[in-house]
Each structure stands twice: as C-alpha cells, then as structure tokens.
Amino acid sequence: MPFFKHLDELSDITDITWNDRKRLGPLDKASQRIMRGKSNFTYAQKELFAAYVSGLNACSFCYGSHVAVAKNFGVSTKLIEALVEDVDTSPVNHKEKLLFKYLKKLTLSASKLTQEDADDVFKAGWSEEDLHEVILVGCLFNFYNRLLDGHGIKGNPAIYQFGGEHLHKNGYGVPWFIGLIKGLIKKSKLKKLQEFKA
C-alpha cells in the first residue's frame, strides 16, 4: 500500500500530480510533448525507452504500465525483458544498442557519462537531436520512477493494463477537469481489477 493517506491500491501518477497541481501540473504537457510530440522516434520506440529505464530502476508501477503501453504499440514484452537483462545479448541491432547503453548509464551512473559515450552514439549514425530525445525520455522516467516509488505506489497487473490502454489511446495529456472525474476513473479501475481477478 502507498505511504500517504490520500493514496490507495488503485492510485497512479495522476493521484500524485493532482494533489500538488500548482507544481506538478506542468508535467502533463511536458510528458505529452516528450512522448507524443514530433520526433524521429516512433511512439513504440519511446515507450520501449520508458519501459527500459523503469525496468532498470525496478519501478514496478512504471515498468508494468509502460510494458503494457509498448505492447499496445506492438513491442514484444520479451524484447523489453531481454534489454533489461542484458543490452549486449538483446535482439536489437548494434546501432540501437548504443542508445540503450547510453540510457543505462544515464539511469544508473549519470555522472560517469563521457564525451566518448555520446560520440559512440553519433558515430553509429544518430544525430544530436536523436540523443537529446532519448535523454529527455530517460530523464522523464527516472523522475517518474522515483516519484511513484517515493510515494509507495506499486500498482498491480490490472492497473498496468488499465494505464497501458489509456496511454496508448489518449497519450499523456491530463484534462483540466480530471478532478471532477476522479470518482469515475476509480470505478473503472476497480472494475478492471475485478475482471482481472475473475
């Protein structure tokens, strides 16, 4: 169970951001622009990056949710698991492996990144804009991983599926009226949880 009284087993990131709207509300627009804005990467690739970072951090909520989103975009769960296990033996090409190696270092030991790490990415044919995109996704999910784990939100498979379907269909924007429909969302999550347990 979460560590805060206003959160429960059905809570997700919006329950944290809505409770501190003045400071955290702008994250919704930033997340939408980073994850669904114009990019050389597809939505599926960005969700793969998100799930990978979350897997490295062992953030059960974000990992479960973004594996579900990535799956909705056609990404194999086995691919994500293989990347988290070992980039070198994963079934992605060498050029892509360099992005995941950069993300791994950014996530686990960011202060040890060097010009050589960036140059390896550039020599493989990625542009500075491409690497910047990958860094943005990595930073966003390192932040979200810690925000969720810091509040004790772990989720469960039904909630991951619910969130995965929502993010796949609607993206990351949170409507201004979310406070008015929180009860409805909670009922939908509860129904999904009951269906999953049945």
pLDDT category, 4, cuts 50, 70, 90? very high
CATH number at residue 112: 1.20.1290.10
Average pLDDT, the chain: 91
Q: Is residue 6 part of a domain?
A: no
Distance CA 8, CA 10 (A): 5
Helices (H), 110-175: 115-123, 128-150, 157-170
Neighbouring CB atoms inside 10 A of 22's CB total 6
Compute the average pLDDT of residues 9-24: 88
Angle at which helices 60-72 and 157-170 pack, to 10 degrees? 50
Compute the average pLDDT of residues 48-54: 98
Tokens, residue 152: 């004790």
Q: Is residue 17 part of a domain?
A: no
Q: Is residue 21 part of a domain?
A: no
Residue-wise pLDDT tens digits, 79-99: 999 999 999 999 999 999 999
Residue-wise pLDDT tens digits, 130-158: 999 999 999 999 999 999 999 999 998 98
Residue-wise pLDDT tens digits, 149-198: 999 999 989 889 888 998 999 898 766 555 545 666 666 666 666 676 66
| Confidence (pTM) | 0.89
Q: In degrees rounded to 5, what are phi and psi of residue 126? A: -85, 145
Q: Looking at the 3D structure of the chain, how many domains does it have?
A: 1
Q: Is residue 183 part of a domain?
A: yes
Instruction: Specify the higher pLDDT residue, 175 or 70.
Output: 70
Q: Is residue 69 part of a domain?
A: yes
Does position 100 have pLDDT exceeding 90, yes or no?
Answer: yes
Chain centroid to CA 110: how far? 18
The domain containing residue 47 runs over which residues?
27-197
Compute the average pLDDT of residues 62-76: 97
Tokens 């990958």 sit at which residue? 134
Percentage of the chain lying above the pLDDT 90 cut: 73
Does position 61 have pLDDT exceeding 70, yes or no?
Answer: yes
What per-residue confidence (pLDDT) applies to 18? Answer: 84
Q: Is residue 148 part of a domain?
A: yes
Q: Is residue 14 part of a domain?
A: no
Chain centroid to CA 135: how far? 13
What SS3 string covers 74-107?
A: CCCHHHHHHHHHCCCCCCCCHHHHHHHHHHHHHH
- 178-186 contact pairs (CB < 8 A, 24+): 178/14, 178/18, 179/18, 182/18, 186/10
* Eight-state DSSP code of residue 38: S
pLDDT category, 123, cuts 50, 70, 90? very high
Q: Is residue 20 part of a domain?
A: no
| Termini Cα distance of the chain | 22
